[in-house]
Amino acid sequence: MAKLLSCVLGPRLYKIYRERDSERAPASVPETPTAVTAPHSSSWDTYYQPRALEKHADSILALASVFWSISYYSSPFAFFYLYRKGYLSLSKVVPFSHYAGTLLLLLAGVACLRALFPVLFLPGIGRWTNPQYRQFITILEATHRNQSSENKRQLANYNFDFRSWPVDFHWEEPSSRKESRGGPSRRGVALLRPEPLHRGTADTLLNRVKKLPCQITSYLVAHTLGRRMLYPGSVYLLQKALMPVLLQGQARLVEECNGRRAKLLACDGNEIDTMFVDRRGTAEPQGQKLVICCEGNAGFYEVGCVSTPLEAGYSVLGWNHPGFAGSTGVPFPQNEANAMDVVVQFAIHRLGFQPQDIIIYAWSIGGFTATWAAMSYPDVSAMILDASFDDLVPLALKVMPDSWRGLVTRTVRQHLNLNNAEQLCRYQGPVLLIRRTKDEIITTTVPEDIMSNRGNDLLLKLLQHRYPRVMAEEGLRVVRQWLEASSQLEEASIYSRWEVEEDWCLSVLRSYQAEHGPDFPWSVGEDMSADGRRQLALFLARKHLHNFEATHCTPLPAQNFQMPWHL
């Protein structure tokens, strides 16, 4: 009976991975008392085959979940339609509320009786009669009792509902954080806060009351429409549609790349789904470096940008945003930074990589967590930002009506402040920006208008912070001309027009670094001619930004994944 109850309450099992000899425990590792022999590919199908009872019952429950999600997301439109048709008058609302109340009572009754309702017992009965599922639930229960390496190795052969996966790493696990007060609190890690919209205004009680309606409106917009527009990957219906693709991608990472999945507990209580591929045992020297990948707003590590550094031979750690796939929570900036913090801590304290061996690689909106990590962990080796932007406000204003300008700006600054450039300027290490020349997402006009690409602004703000004397009027003007070039031929033409001597530029920068140290900002170019500043500005721009002739979502080839330039 206990086993039947475990099957009824157990998670949904999606796939049984093919077991490889490289995954098996060494002969010197003793068997633990709670260890259970894992299935072998010779006698088990790689895709879990549920029995008929479990299959049909799961389909019913999944269909009900989809209908609920559709009703939830369409409710504002339904409310607006009923209002326009006059169905929300008092004479019609009262009888309608009776019907709605009766329906809610029925749903509440079903929820209370779900443990006794036959359709919910059907998956458990089907699982109980299935030896594959009984084998799996035994291993899962053994792992929850004793998280030995052998039990976790056997559990890794299964792909199942990640909510039941045991926690592998806790944000408080590093001993330095337990002893120090400088680490994150349960409220979250530190973020750069935006300046008030009206500086110098007295913060009196009357002003607070006047601002209250605007603040409430901004909060509602951010927590309903805004968050889902900014991170569509957190929408349940999209995840449901992508589920087969995500399962296939995860199987590829585990079976072909020997990936190891892990659940990390962030300081805000969110559980973060990660995948680690270790290349340190290979002959390729880049395998000693770890690339932490930060995905886009509809990207998942199963099918995201992790493929680029994997093909290039690096060790890779991918993770999903809060609310994406196996990760819990919602992807607001604070939660995003909390998740990134525990991912970096996991890489250092559990995977054993030194910060100097870690590279942060981000695509699109992942630039926020990447720049936060570089700002908060300044010893990381380098950072690569692909198709990213400087600030969210211009891109948000692009897709919203002009009449909403004040509301959009306020909502972004207070609740969705992705200030990539501000965070990037706090990092002292090597940076490479990759600009998509046909990007249709982070341009504020049309993809053909390359000067409206917000990657340009990210480069200019970085160079102006690091080399303010070089990026004075002459340097800024010539870099803008170079950014406006629509082809490699035009870029080379501008570069040669100003007769940039790269050896001279390198000698100037190295001499300054030797005399004044590596910390930015530099005052190099202060006593330099206008022609010299132009040469240095073009040289630095070319070293910090590479063009990739593609649209926003085109996968980056491995040959384009290059380490940032540094002296």
Question: Which residues have a catalytic role annotated?
Answer: 364, 439, 516
Q: For residues 556 and 309, is the Cβ–Cβ distance under 8 A?
A: no
The sheet that has 382-386: what strands, in order across it? 169-170, 260-265, 271-277, 315-319, 290-294, 358-363, 382-386, 431-436, 545-548
Q: Which long-range contacts (CB under 8 A, 24 or more apart) does 73-82 make?
A: 73/235, 73/237
Cα distances (Å, whole numbers) of residue 96 to 93, 102, 106, 497: 5, 10, 16, 75
Distance from C-alpha of 3 to C-alpha of 5, rounded to nearest angstrom: 5
Q: For residues 273 and 162, is the Cβ–Cβ distance under 8 A?
A: yes
Distance from C-alpha of 39 to C-alpha of 154, rounded to nearest angstrom: 9
Backbone phi, then psi, for 192, in 5-degree steps?
-75, 125
Q: Which two tokens stand for residue 520?
A: 């930015």
Cα distances (Å, whole numbers) of residue 251 to 18, 23, 142, 257, 562: 9, 15, 23, 9, 27
Distance from C-alpha of 242 to C-alpha of 248, rounded to nearest angstrom: 10
Q: For residues 363 and 294, is the Cβ–Cβ distance under 8 A?
A: yes
For residue 363, what are the β-bridge partners?
A: 386
For residue 382, what are the β-bridge partners?
A: 359
240: amino acid identity, one letter: K
Question: What one-character DSSP code corresponds to residue 157?
Answer: T
